[in-house]
Amino acid sequence: MQKMRIGVIGVGYLGKFHAQKYAAMNDVELVGVADVSGEAARQVAQANRTKPFADYRELLRQVDAVSVVVPTPLHHQVASDCFAENVDVLLEKPMTVTLAEADDLIDKAEKGNRILQIGHLERFNPAIVAMQDYLTCPVFIESQRVHSFKPRGVEVDVILDLMIHDIDIILTVVPSPLESISTIGVPVVTKETDVAAAQLLFVNGCTANVSVSRVAHDNVRSLRIYQPGSSLTVNYATKEIKIIERLPGSTPEGYPNEKTAHFCFTEQDALAAELTDFVSNVRLRQRPKVSGLEGRRALEVALQIINQIRDHISRHKDLLCCG
């Protein structure tokens, strides 16, 4: 089988891991890496025995597909240049800054018969993958994602930085249209929203409460799903899932009668799975499970949440600016 020629555009914190994973694949040739920082490109290229490029457009002429791991405001331009060169794209999340940009990329990919996959990495978390077998009819969901502060990623607010992961997962597991959104959020360290919570109400009655923070002093990434007869708990960080099944009757002490199963997938690599899936989609010319349409769907909800929070901040400037 002929090796697929792949490149990575943007080799900052996350992009360098894309390069490492591609370099380790037997059916892939990592042709090169590109970055506006020549030194970063040289270091990552040297570590992965490939070529550095100062201008990503030169790399595009030599590859079949790329990972685009540049800051979000650059996603639309870089991906557009890729499609102009007939190159397939794995585009990191969030897909774009605006829905108009997202629609334009979807249109360009469709017209050019190009693969457009969006990098919602949690879809490939092995605990999330395993959870699918136990889903029946979610009625209540709790999602929490809190991180300690990191300077990277602050060009967008916490909704596009973190919450969009959970939005994508929730929209995937609830088989119903979204009916309404209620939100709250505030800036704490940056000029953008750093702490936020949203309640998503679906037409079928399912409710999801989502909370995020990027200024916490601990790290928690969890998902709880309650459904008739059972509940599921996912720890994203440790790649664990716990399933509690409600059984008839109760214990002699009066507690609910339950059966618990616990699975842990620490040996599985979500990023490697995502990139392997991308390579397969490119090779087989098949639609990704996280295509541009799924990326746009999550972005649309994220932008609604952002707009509600901005309205709240605007109406309460005296309180939020008192410090």
- Tens of pLDDT, residue by residue over 125-150, are 999 999 999 999 999 999 999 988 87
- Arithmetic mean of pLDDT, 257-267: 92
Q: Is the pLDDT of residue 117 over 50?
A: yes
Are 272 and 124 spatial neighbours (Cβ–Cβ below 8 Å)? Answer: no
Q: Rounded CA gap, 67 and 54, in Å? A: 16
Report pLDDT digits (tens) over 275-319.
999 999 999 999 999 999 999 999 999 999 999 998 877 777 666
Please, which contacts does 128-136 make with residues 24 or more away whose CB atoms are closer than 8 Å?
128/169, 128/223, 128/234, 128/236, 130/241, 130/263, 130/265, 131/173, 131/225, 131/232, 131/234, 131/241, 134/230, 134/232, 134/241, 134/243, 135/173, 135/225, 135/227, 135/232, 136/227, 136/228, 136/229, 136/230
Question: Which amino acid is present at 259?
Answer: K
Give the number of C-alpha atoms closer than 13 A to the C-alpha of residue 111, restricted to the C-beta side: 9
Alpha helices in the chain (DSSP H): 15-23, 38-47, 56-60, 75-84, 99-111, 126-131, 158, 164-173, 270-284, 292-315, 317-320
Mean pLDDT for the chain?
93
pLDDT for the residue numbered 318 = 66
Q: Is the pLDDT of residue 322 over 60?
A: no
Structure tokens at 10: 């943007």
Q: Rounded CA gap, 106 and 279, in Å? A: 19
Are 87 and 113 spatial neighbours (Cβ–Cβ below 8 Å)? Answer: no
Give me the phi and psi of 16, to 5 degrees please.
-65, -30
Q: Rounded CA gap, 56 and 78, in Å? A: 8
Please give the model's pTM, rounded to 2 decimal places: 0.92
Q: Which of 224, 216, 223, 257 is nearest to 237 (CA)?
A: 223
Structure tokens at 272: 């490697």
User: What's 123-267+302-317's CATH class?
Assistant: alpha beta
What confidence category does residue 323 fall into, taking pLDDT thresholds of 50, 70 and 90?
Answer: very low
Q: Rounded CA gap, 247 and 245, in Å? A: 6
- Arithmetic mean of pLDDT, 5-13: 96
Q: Is the dihedral of CA 286, 291, 294, 297 positive or negative?
A: negative
pLDDT for the residue numbered 317 = 67
- Arithmetic mean of pLDDT, 259-267: 93
Report pLDDT digits (tens) over 169-215.
999 999 999 999 999 998 888 887 889 999 999 999 999 999 999 99
Tell me where in the chain the CATH 3.30.360.10 domain(s) lie: 123-267+302-317
Collapsing DSSP to helix, strand or coil, 196 comes out as: strand
- Return the CATH number of 4-120+271-289, one of 3.40.50.720, 3.40.50.2300, 3.30.2270.10, 3.40.50.12160: 3.40.50.720
Tell me where in the chain the CATH 3.40.50.720 domain(s) lie: 4-120+271-289
pLDDT for the residue numbered 308 = 93
Report pLDDT digits (tens) over 22-62.
999 999 999 999 999 999 999 999 999 999 999 999 999 99
Report pLDDT digits (tens) over 144-158.
999 888 776 666 788
Are 88 and 282 spatial neighbours (Cβ–Cβ below 8 Å)? Answer: yes
Contacts of 37 (CB under 8 A, 6+ apart): none
Collapsing DSSP to helix, strand or coil, 251 comes out as: coil
Report pLDDT digits (tens) over 60-116.
999 999 999 999 999 999 999 999 999 999 999 999 999 999 999 999 999 999 999
Question: Which amino acid is present at 66?
Answer: V
